[in-house]
Amino acid sequence: MNAAADVVILGAGGGGYPAAFFLARAGLRVVMADPLGNLGGNCLYEGCVPSKAVREASLIRATAGKYALFGLRGEKPGMEWKGVLAHKDRVQQIRYSQHAEEIRRSGVVFHKGRGRILDGRRVEIEAEDGTHRYDFRDLMIATGSRPHMLPIPGRELAITSHDLFRLGADLPFPARPVIVGGGYIGVEAASMLNNLGAEPAVLEYTDQLLPGFDRELAEALHAGLKRRVRIELNAQVTSLEMSGAGLLVRYLQHGAERSVSGDAVLMATGRQPVLPEGIENLGLSSRGPLAANDRLQTADPHVYAPGDVNGRSMLFHSAVRQSLIAAHNIVAGGQPADRMDFESVPFTVFTEPELAHVGLTEAEARSRYGAVEVARYDYATDSRAQIFDEMEGFIKLIFTGGAGRLVGAQIAGIEAAQLIAPLAVAVSRGLGAADLAEAVFPHPMISEGINKAARSFRP
Ligand SMILES: Cc1cc2nc3c(=O)[nH]c(=O)nc-3n(C[C@H](O)[C@H](O)[C@H](O)COP(=O)(O)OP(=O)(O)OC[C@H]3O[C@@H](n4cnc5c(N)ncnc54)[C@H](O)[C@@H]3O)c2cc1C
């Protein structure tokens, strides 16, 4: 006989575990499974956390390049890649042991294993401790995403961000990496590896870094990064091959055949959803992202799909919010108790210069609202940016004309990822220029720029 569960959750990443804990606290019988056997999914195992642990090492080293500016003396630190990876592993292990304790206390039945869907009411979990079958009332598919590989000859020679950052990764340091793809994973890798001493080349298919991004932000990144990293736009990569001790990457650019060589090729060409086996037994498509509405329900109202698997906003903090929304709607018996506001999700790019945005771009806001007002703040006039000699940056706030409601913000420059948080609150809560102008922001921090830009708003 199958065991009964109110909710079965496949995947314990940001899309899975927040809902599991919430639903268990609400008194539901919750079963969760993940082959990683712990929480955090891709983000902790090979994504956000390890990549940012490596990036911090790279920033410390880069800051040492400014010793003289601060009146300090000393050599720029050498880089020991094994040590950098050990730091990353240590952070991952700390978080894994904390998460193991959270699982133990949660009341959730957790299996280290992979789930497959038998039919519209039953799943089977192939776990370390045997096979388990559950009847469920509601199902959450939070199985995330994996790197997408270009279908080109020689693709098996490439590595992905998973090979670089996963727990226990032991690849040699890529001193001359060729990075295929100028999306956020590609440019973050290029920036941090260069700060650690590498000479990367980035090949991007479209005519800008960060395709789909606000062009002013993408150009700010291009201007800063091109001083340190070779960047080729309009570059269509056609093949990879071994060449002597290294690798040769061939590409087409404006009709001409070109090539670049390196000691590693990082394929950073987007991510594709991971769907559980048996998804078609729910009457859902087994191809492409799993379509979900703003309540995170799929075409089957008892099946929810939060996180990367639905392809709508592939970030950890977005997955967490989506997970909780699905949980709120499950507790409400499938009634629309909560909905996801995808537009208020902040996006950050951890490069130098750092980028962040939330809400609408200026062009999007103009086409939606007609009249908009743009308020700007220039890092060149900021005390903290001057202290760090990081004066090439800006904060751009987009307000609706008249009412002055904040509908979007873009930031390029140091601390952009921290600065975007209060602006995400403002966009999601419908705050206006007066709210941001009348609040007091600390001096001398760059967040003052939000205050100053808002004060310059003229309806
Ligand atoms: C290099 C890199 C850097 C990143 N940096 C950032 C960042 O700085 N900030 C940010 O917000 N986001 C970042 N991301 C994105 C972030 O990692 C994802 O958006 C986030 O992990 C999505 O969470 P998720 O729960 O939807 O999916 P995942 O984290 O992919 O979790 C899905 C889980 O499902 C499990 N699973 C798969 N199939 C099954 C099955 N059949 N049964 C049971 N379990 C299954 C998997 O093992 C996995 O643990 C980064 C990603 C990468 C690759």
What six digits make up the tokens of 256?
């001409």
Residue 14 CA to ligand 1 center (angstroms) comes to: 7
The identity of residue 455, as a single letter, is: R
Angle at 146 between CA 246 and CA 188, to 5 degrees: 60
**What backbone torsions phi and psi does residue 219 show, to the nearest 5 degrees?**
-70, -35
Q: Residue 18 Cα, ligand 1 centroid: separation in angstroms?
A: 13
Q: Which residue has the tokens 């007066």?
A: 434
List average pLDDT for each run of 10 residues in the chain, which is 459 residues long. 93 98 98 98 98 97 93 94 98 98 97 98 96 98 98 98 97 98 98 98 98 96 98 98 95 98 98 98 94 97 98 98 98 94 98 98 95 96 97 97 94 98 98 95 96 88
Nearest ligand 1 atom to alpha carbon 145: 30
The pLDDT of residue 81 is 98
Reduced to 3 states (helix: H, G, I; strand: E, B; else coil), residue 53 is helix
Q: Dump pLDDT digits (tens) for 404-429.
A: 999 999 999 999 999 999 999 999 99
Helix (H/G/I), strand (E/B), else coil: 100:
helix
- For residue 443, give every residue at least 6 positions away whose Cβ sits within 8 Å of its Cβ, in sequence order, or none: 383
- Alpha-helical runs (H) found in 167-227: 184-195, 215-225
CB atoms within 10 A of CB 376: 13
Q: Ligand 1 atom 20: the closest Cα is on which residue?
A: 316
Name the closest-CA residue to atom 53, ligand 1: 47
CA–CA dist 342, 326 (Å, integer) = 14
- Among 271, 272, 275, 270, smallest CA distance to 11 is for 275
Q: What is the pLDDT of residue 320?
A: 98
415: enclosing H helix or E strand = none
Picking from 2, 38, 35, 36, the residue whose alpha carbon sits closest to that of residue 20 is 38
345 CB within 6 A, ligand 1: no
CB atoms within 10 A of CB 104: 10
Ligand 1 centroid, distance to 222 Cα (angstroms): 27
Give the distance from CA 213 to its chain's centroid.
Answer: 14
Residue 269 CA to residue 283 CA, distance in Å, equals: 30
Going by C-alpha positions, the residue among 340, 304, 312 that lies closest to residue 23 is: 304
Contact 34, 143 (CB under 8 A): no
pLDDT at site 1: 66
Residue 292 confidence (pLDDT): 98
Cβ burial of 110 (10 Å; 0-12, 13-18, 19+) is buried
Whole-angstrom Cα distance, residue 15 to residue 323? 5
- 353 ligand 1 Cβ < 6 A: no
Which amino acid makes up residue 274? V
Residue position matching structure tokens 């890649």: 81
Tokens of 82: 């094994």
Contacts of 240 (CB under 8 A, 6+ apart): 152, 153, 154, 155, 157, 158, 247, 248, 249, 250, 265
Q: Whose CA is closest to atom 30 on ligand 1?
A: 144
Atom of ligand 1 nearest to the CA of 350: 8
Tell me what pLDDT residue 108 has: 98
Q: What is the pLDDT of residue 458?
A: 76
- Collapsing DSSP to helix, strand or coil, 71 comes out as coil
- Are 180 and 267 in contact by the 8 Å Cβ rule? The answer is yes
The average confidence (pLDDT) of the chain is 97
Which amino acid appears at position 19 of this protein?
Answer: A
CA of 144 to the centre of ligand 1 (A): 5
Q: Which of 48, 55, 92 shows the shortest CA–CA distance to 192?
A: 55
Task: Please report the DSSP string for 339-368 in residue order.
Answer: ---GGG--EEE-SSS-EEEEE--HHHHHHH
